[in-house]
A = this chain, B = another copy of it.
Amino acid sequence: MEETFAEVWLPHYVSYGETDAMGVVYYAEYIHFFERARGAMCRENGLGYGKIEEAGYMLPVREVECRYRSPARYDDHILIRARIVEWRRASVRFRYEIYNDDRTKLLCEGMTLHAVVNREGKPVPVPTWIKEKLSGTSVDVKNA
């Protein structure tokens, strides 16, 4: 039986503060976009990241990768897709793709790897309830 994973498509209008003097979105801002979509995915699955922290767990980022394909510009309406692609014993991997408005052009793609740690920062096995909550639902965010 195939494993399924939660995903989200988050719409976003590029703000002026996200652009740089080249006239395009600054490269670190895409890393923010990843986080926004990751957070939306958790929230839409009923497990806002705040709730994970309240339960005593944190998901600090261990690795990030991003490949820039085509630039986004001010006021562009972009779509940020985030999904979990791998659960390990004590970590979880997300993948991201960012598209233009009609999903015909890939602007950027990336990955983050997160440890699962307790309040003391010690790596712990992924709790089953986190894994269950974040599995199998695909959501288009309508009301950001």
Contact = CB atoms under 8 A, between A and B. Distances in A.
A39 B13 contact: yes
Interface size for chain A: under 10, 10 to 19, 20 to 34, or 35 or more residues?
35 or more
A20 interface: yes
B68 A22 contact: no
A101 interface: no
Interface of A: 11-13, 15-17, 19-24, 26-29, 31-32, 35-36, 39-40, 43, 48-50, 58, 60-68, 71, 73-75, 142-144
23 contacts: A11-B143, A12-B144, A13-B43, A15-B32, A16-B35, A16-B39, A16-B49, A17-B32, A19-B20, A20-B20, A21-B23, A22-B58, A27-B31, A27-B35, A27-B61, A27-B64, A48-B75, A50-B74, A62-B68, A64-B64, A64-B65, A65-B66, A143-B143
